[in-house]
Amino acid sequence: MTTPTPRVLVPSGATKGEVFQVRTIISHQMETGLRHDVQGRVIPRKIINRFVCRYGGVEVFSVDLHEAVSANPFIEFYLLAMESGRLEFIWEEDGGSTYRLEHQLAVA
């Protein structure tokens, strides 16, 4: 499996008090733990189990994902523009790996 690659689509700027959309996706096969390999052995579960968004260091949105979320999890959500600052996006995988992206948001 190639390294999970996250991508985020978020505006570079917003007006204070405005709602802006964030779209995220991470390439990840999401093994549900229900499939079998050619030998008939169960392929163990390996999924992105948590997504967190922090804005200026404060957690503003998160998702606990389970096996029923599709592969290459796509999550679209909406935040309120408060102040200029850093948006952090963190994906946590079964086994402890994390993947992150950052984005600077300019709020007028």
List contacts with other proteins (CB under 8 A).
Answer: 19, 32, 34-35, 53, 55, 58-71, 73-80, 82
- Cα–Cα distance measured from residue 89 to residue 60, given in angstroms and rounded to the nearest whole number: 11
Q: How big is the CA angle at 21 (ends 11 and 17), to the nearest 5 degrees?
A: 85
How near is the Cβ of 3 to other proteins at its closest, in Å?
Answer: 21
Three-state secondary-structure class, residue 73 = coil
| Local structure of residue 45 (DSSP, 8 states) | P
Tokens standing for 20?
């802006």
67/34 Cα distance (integer angstroms):
9
Q: In the complex with other proteins, which residue's Cβ is closer, 14 or 79?
A: 79
Minimum CB separation of residue 55 from other proteins in Å reads 7
Distance of closest approach, residue 108 Cβ to other proteins, in angstroms = 18
Q: How far is the CB of 104 from other proteins (least distance, A)?
A: 18
